[in-house]
Amino acid sequence: MKILAVSDQVVEGIYSLQIRERFGDVDLVVSCGDLPYSYLEYIVSMLDVPCFFVHGNHDQPEYMSNGNTLTRPGGWVNLDGRTVMCRGTLLAGLEGSIRYKPCAPYQYTERGMAYKVWHLTPALLLNRLLWGRHLDILVTHSPPFGIHDGQDWPHRGFKVFLNLMAWFRPRYLLHGHKHIYGPESWRTRYRHTEVINVYPFQVIEW
């Protein structure tokens, strides 16, 4: 299984004809949010594999030169709050960041995100019955609390993601939201899960 994950920033080597040479062998693509929908549509049209996304806190309608407005990336499946089996891999997603502006879209309080996790739980328990495991890959925009997150409030991670990893043991948690400016490690093991900061892209293979 080979996965291309993208997040937060457009990468020239992906948004060009080189994409097929470099990533033509991936089985699926995930986006952790905060990317132009037109970029995501370019990826799905060039690679022609299943693509799954969650919204980031900066996602907003995109006005195209032909007069159309994109409110989501065409050809991509929104993973928020649901779980999907694709090519033998169980995926689930949770969009958005911690709430730092009242009424802004794709932002949640810690309590609001806990509610979303609670809603997702029956589907994960059903996965366990059907497939013998709850989840392989959790796709989020925000990092978990204390792992790759920031000291400033808008980049603070969610505590409930720590519980989710403890309870459902995904193999990977892929997130974006926190841009890399230093030499810190961006792959961190937490219990049974490898937490990976995707910004601006990562290839995951197993």
Residues in the chain: 206
Q: Is 50 in the site for Zn ion (CB under 5 A)?
A: no
Q: Is 56 in the site for Zn ion (CB under 5 A)?
A: yes
Q: For strands 97-98 and 172-175, give the pairing.
A: unpaired
Q: Which is nearer to Zn ion, 161 or 168 (CB)?
A: 161
Q: Is 57 in the site for Zn ion (CB under 5 A)?
A: yes
Q: Which is nearer to Zn ion, 8 or 136 (CB)?
A: 8
Q: Is 177 in the site for Zn ion (CB under 5 A)?
A: yes
**Min dist. Cβ of residue 27 to Zn ion (A):** 26
Q: Which is nearer to Zn ion, 116 or 133 (CB)?
A: 116
Q: Is 140 in the site for Zn ion (CB under 5 A)?
A: no
- Six token digits for residue 108: 């949640």
**Min dist. Cβ of residue 59 to Zn ion (A):** 9
Q: Which is nearer to Zn ion, 58 or 171 (CB)?
A: 58
Dihedral (CA of 158, 162, 164, 165) sign: positive
Q: What whole-number distance in Å separates Cα of residue 12 and Cα of residue 8?
A: 13
Q: What whole-number distance in Å separates Cα of residue 194 and Cα of residue 179?
A: 18
- Six token digits for residue 106: 């794709």
- By beta carbon distance, the residue nearest Zn ion is 177
What string marks each residue from 10 to 39 as x (binds Zn ion by CB under 5 A) or -? ------------------------x-----
DSSP annotation of 88: T
Q: Is 55 in the site for Zn ion (CB under 5 A)?
A: no
- Closest C-alpha among 30, 144, 135, 29 to residue 91: 135
Nearest-10 crossing angle of helices 160-168, 110-131: 10
Task: State residue 123 phi and psi, 5-degree precision.
Answer: -65, -35
Q: Which is nearer to Zn ion, 95 or 136 (CB)?
A: 95
Q: Which is nearer to Zn ion, 54 or 91 (CB)?
A: 54
Q: What whole-number distance in Å separates Cα of residue 170 and Cα of residue 157?
A: 18
Binding segment (CB under 5 A) for Zn ion, from list 42-50, 51-59, 68-76, 100-108: 51-59
Binding site for Zn ion (CB under 5 A): 34, 56-57, 177
